[in-house]
Chain A
Amino acid sequence: MISFRRAIREIDKQMVVLLFLIVVIATVMARRNPFFLTLYNFEVMAQGFLFEALMALGMTLVIVSGGIDLSVGGVFPFAAILMALLLRNGINHFLAMPVVIAASAVVGLINNEMRRILNIPPMIVTMATLLTLRGLNLAITDGRVISRLPSAFVELSSTRILGLPIPMAVYLVAALLILILSKKQRALLHVYFVGGNPTSAALSGVKTERVYRMVYTLSSCLAGVAGILATMVYNSASSNFGQGIELRVITAVAIGGASLTKGGIGSIEGTILGSIFLAMIYNAFVMSGVSTYYQDVFTGVMLVIAVLLRSQLFRQESH
């Protein structure tokens, strides 16, 4: 059996390493590029990984529960397109937003039901949903971008809440809320229990299916919110939005210390750090003018290191 306390201590270690790396990269970049340590660049950096970061919060819970959700890469553009279409048909944005989030929730429910009824691994189920939605997005839009959205909605893209652009404010609220709940609230604590050992969780009276339903629905909803924000930021929506976004989301979660191979391990604060790390990496590559090809090489290597670190940790503990 895994010692939970020991595992949590090890995650802290990984977070210290991550924090150290973030500081090192920031220092190196600041010396190389005078614009790196500017308030403007911090905003650009954050905006550049915001959708991934938001979706990573939900993905963390799915991964901790022992599953994975690839379908967010289809939900994200789907929600953006649905939002744009509703707006184009004269529906007020405050009405359209809950509709889009509800539609995204339905996708999450379908994922979970397919997983439960057909007893197929989450990776396969959500991959099927990803492909289906990507095809559907193309069919709905005919491959064209939807733009010319109502000006009342377009104005939101330059609206600021307490000096922050709306997407950033949404992320901060969501991250704080889920972070606090993941430490205190029973339903979210059960995610760890179920992920760590579903049988013993069920035996102790945890309604495991309810936990699974919650995490897949939440993951899908957050992808839907990210899609709505994308429509807001770009004043348009297209089926080509979010190519490979599910992999960047999962990478952020894995670098943040969640285990892709074993449930029950991972944390929201780790994922937040992982997101900051990747946001900085993507920004640093453009800032220093290094070819973006190496950006993927770098994140791939980071992912392998993170996963190895995690599985190595378990090998030490299992004997």
Chain B
Amino acid sequence: MRRRLLVLLLTLAMVVGLAGASVWAKDPEHYVMIVFTKGAEYFNWTYAGMIDAAKILGDHITTELQGPAEWDASLQARTIDQVIVKQPNAILVACADEATLVPAINRAIDRGIPVITFDNDAPESKRLAYVGTDNYEFGATGARAMGELLGGEGEVAIITVPGAGSMAERAQGFEEELARLYPNMKVAAIINDEGDVARAESLTVAALLANPNIKGIFSTHGYGGPGAAAAVRTVGRQGEVVVIASDYGGPVLELLKTGEIAATVADNPYLLGFQAMMLAYQAAHPTDMPSQNPPFGHVPPLIYGGSYIITSEDLQDPEVAAIYENPPQF
């Protein structure tokens, strides 16, 4: 009799324990980030942001980084389709172009998997939200730094690739912000280097020789800064011409340390990945309040990660330099 009671009690304890465990522990959730040119430093920063955001949200969340090592939208679309089969709680996509991934993204949404795009959008897809960089503001940030470094006086040049796209928006933001804040400054030359460092150098040399009044150069992309710094060296005007670069690739970092590049404008890939993860979590957890994207949760359609300035002085601090010089690796 006694033994039977004991067995009964033990069984009861087990049932309660199991039930309790399933109440306390959250169901595991899996989130997948799909990039192109996997292995690129930029996307490793975005994935580092995603991992940290997932840690904040809880131990029950696992993450995964997928995508082709090549810049090939068709390969990336296949990866999305293969990830859909695994039924993750949400997918975060940096799109290799704005059109090719649309059918695959829509298939995910139709199968009830929320999709958040970041860095590069696919606006015509059914994706729920986009986390990106405001390129106009990126250029404007560069203009404010240029104005400060030159004391609001002098002529400047822009290195860019004209046409549509992010570089044109950065150039426009730079020009308009400069005109708005510093009436005594003007853009004297726009140099089209076709995104090539050697062309950036030779064309900047020509511009500097043709116009000795140029006191500053802003590049809207990663290769223009090192090209401009080399040009300033060639004409022997180090210290007289201020170079402001974009992004923080290896050559830019080196020249920032020596001071040949005074500052660089950077967007924030870590924050893009972080925010995309947060939005993915929101989208995967609908609340009682009906959202704009049923059956998914509440997400704002657009978030900007912002742009900021890294100066030559910042990098003299070894701790700061170490952050940029030791990018995360996956």
Stretch at the interface among A9-17, A34-42, A173-181: A34-42
User: Chain A's nearest CB lies how many Å from the CB of B294?
Assistant: 23
Q: Are A236 and B100 CB-contacts (below 8 A) given A243-B75, A286-B82, A292-B68?
A: yes
The number of residues on chain B lying at the interface, defined by a beta carbon within 8 Å of a beta carbon of chain A, is 33
A146, A242, A292: which has the most chain B beta carbons within 10 Å? Answer: A292
User: Chain B's nearest CB lies how many Å from the CB of A167?
Assistant: 12
Residue of B nearest to A241 (CB): B74
Q: Is A235 an interface position by the 8 A CB rule?
A: yes
Q: Are A35 and B103 CB-contacts (below 8 A) given A242-B72, A243-B71, A292-B67?
A: no
Q: Are A235 and B99 CB-contacts (below 8 A) given A241-B72, A242-B74?
A: yes
A51, A146, A238: which has the most chain B beta carbons within 10 Å? Answer: A238
Residue of B nearest to A50 (CB): B78
Q: Is the Cβ of A234 less than 8 Å from the Cβ of B100? A: yes
Report the bound CA distance from A286 to B77 in whole Å: 13
Which residues of chain A come closer than 8 Å to B65, judged between CB atoms? Answer: 291
Which residues of chain B come closer than 8 Å to A45, judged between CB atoms? Answer: 82
Q: Is B153 an interface position by the 8 A CB rule?
A: no
For the A-B complex with A144-B97, A145-B73 known, give 7 more contacts whose Cβ atoms are closer than 8 Å.
A147-B99, A230-B74, A238-B100, A241-B72, A286-B82, A289-B66, A291-B65
Q: Is B208 an interface position by the 8 A CB rule?
A: no
Report the bound CA distance from A51 to B78 in whole Å: 11
Q: Is the Cβ of B85 less than 8 Å from the Cβ of A287? A: yes
Q: Contacting A287 at CB < 8 Å: which of B39, B67, B73, B86?
A: B86
Report B83-113 residues with CB < 8 Å from chain A CB: 83-87, 96-100, 102-103
Report the bound CA distance from A147 to B73 in whole Å: 13
How large, as a class, is the contact surface on chain A? 35 or more
Which residues of chain A come closer than 8 Å to B86, judged between CB atoms? Answer: 33, 35, 287
Q: What 1/0 mask marks residues of chain A from 209 to 248 whose CB sits below 8 Å from any chain B CB?
A: 0000000000000000000001001111010111110000
Report B216-244 residues with CB < 8 Å from chain A CB: none
Q: Is the Cβ of B81 less than 8 Å from the Cβ of A44? A: yes
Q: Is the Cβ of B84 less than 8 Å from the Cβ of A44? A: yes
Q: Is A157 an interface position by the 8 A CB rule?
A: yes
Which residues of chain A come closer than 8 Å to B38, judged between CB atoms? Answer: 292
Report A231-271 residues with CB < 8 Å from chain B CB: 233-236, 238, 240-244
Which residues of chain A come closer than 8 Å to B314, judged between CB atoms? Answer: none
A-B contacts counted at CB < 8 A amount to 96
Which residues of chain A come closer than 8 Å to B100, judged between CB atoms? Answer: 145, 147, 234-236, 238, 241
Q: Is A283 an interface position by the 8 A CB rule?
A: yes
Which residues of chain A come closer than 8 Å to B79, judged between CB atoms? Answer: 286
Q: What 1/0 mask marks residues of chain A from 105 to 130 whose CB sits below 8 Å from any chain B CB?
A: 00000000000000000000000000
B68, B69, B82: which has the most chain A beta carbons within 10 Å? Answer: B82
Q: Are A145 and B97 CB-contacts (below 8 A) given A35-B85, A44-B85, A233-B103?
A: yes
Q: Contacting B81 at CB < 8 Å: which of A35, A48, A148?
A: A48
Residue of A nearest to B165 (CB): A144
List residues of A whose CB falls within 8 A of some B CB. Answer: 33, 35, 38, 40-41, 44-45, 47-48, 51, 144-148, 157, 230, 233-236, 238, 240-244, 282-283, 286-287, 289, 291-293, 296
Q: Contacting B97 at CB < 8 Å: which of A40, A238, A244?
A: A238
Residue of B nearest to A230 (CB): B74
Q: Can you pick out 11 interface pairs between chain A and chain B where the beta carbons lie within 8 Å of each other?
A: A145-B97, A146-B99, A147-B99, A157-B103, A233-B77, A236-B99, A236-B102, A243-B68, A243-B70, A291-B65, A293-B69
Which residues of chain A come closer than 8 Å to B99, judged between CB atoms? Answer: 145-148, 234-236, 238
Residue of B nearest to A235 (CB): B103
Residue of A nearest to B36 (CB): A240
Q: Contacting A286 at CB < 8 Å: which of B66, B102, B330?
A: B66
Report the bound CA distance from A48 to B100 in whole Å: 15
Q: Is the Cβ of A47 less than 8 Å from the Cβ of B87? A: no
Which residues of chain A come closer than 8 Å to B59, judged between CB atoms? Answer: none
Q: Is the Cβ of B72 less than 8 Å from the Cβ of A292? A: no
User: Chain A's nearest CB lies how many Å from the CB of B221?
Assistant: 14
User: Chain A's nearest CB lies how many Å from the CB of B266?
Assistant: 24
Q: Is B64 an interface position by the 8 A CB rule?
A: yes
Please provide the 4 A-B residue pairs with the shortest distance between their CB atoms, ordered closest to farther. Answer: A147-B99, A243-B70, A236-B99, A145-B97
Residue of B nearest to A244 (CB): B70
Q: Is the Cβ of B78 less than 8 Å from the Cβ of A48? A: yes
Q: Are A35 and B87 CB-contacts (below 8 A) given A233-B103, A287-B82?
A: yes
Residue of A nearest to B330 (CB): A291
Report the bound CA distance from A48 to B85 in whole Å: 12
Q: Is the Cβ of B73 less than 8 Å from the Cβ of A40? A: no
A35, A145, A286: which has the most chain B beta carbons within 10 Å? Answer: A286
Which residues of chain A come closer than 8 Å to B98, judged between CB atoms? Answer: 145, 147
Which residues of chain B come closer than 8 Å to A44, judged between CB atoms? Answer: 81-82, 84-85
